Amino acid sequence: MREKLTKAEEEIMQLFWTYGPSTVSNLIARMEDPKPPHSTISSFVRILEKKGFVSHKAYGRTYEYQPLISKESYSKRSVKDLVMKYFGGSVNELVSFLAKEENLSLKEIAELMDNQKQQNDE
């Protein structure tokens, strides 16, 4: 599973990550108004299944879908991809960018570097 999620797919995955296994009807019930059509969400969930992000269990004619990848795992991969694509694989470049853009304090920069060091040690 190396495919990326579209914005719409990621919104659906956020619901799975927040609420766990769900039917399409449950997903729609948790969405803000105006609610999308059942067929639209069903299509997106089937795409997510084809991409390897969710699987399903059948209960008669009802399918319950569950995530196959955790939010943490997807986030980690997404950040690594971001660093490779925009910062030449350099976490230092990313931190430098964030420090300039977000006006980070030295303490915040040190915490970011400590977190990165811990992740590299894992």
CATH of 7-67, one of 1.10.10.10, 1.10.3720.10, 1.10.150.130, 3.20.20.80: 1.10.10.10
CATH code 1.10.10.10 region(s) in the chain:
7-67
pLDDT at 79: 87
State how far the Cα of 119 lies from the Cα of 122, in Å rounded to an integer. 5
In the predicted structure, residue 8 carries a pLDDT above the cut 60: yes
Q: Quote the tokens at residue 86.
A: 């925009």
Give per-residue pLDDT as tens, 77-109. Answer: 888 888 899 999 888 888 788 778 878 777 887
Give per-residue pLDDT as tens, 25-75. Answer: 999 999 999 999 999 999 999 999 999 999 999 999 999 999 999 999 999
Mean of all residue pLDDT scores within the chain: 89
CA dihedral 84, 85, 90, 93 (to 10 degrees): -160
Q: What is the pTM of this model?
A: 0.76
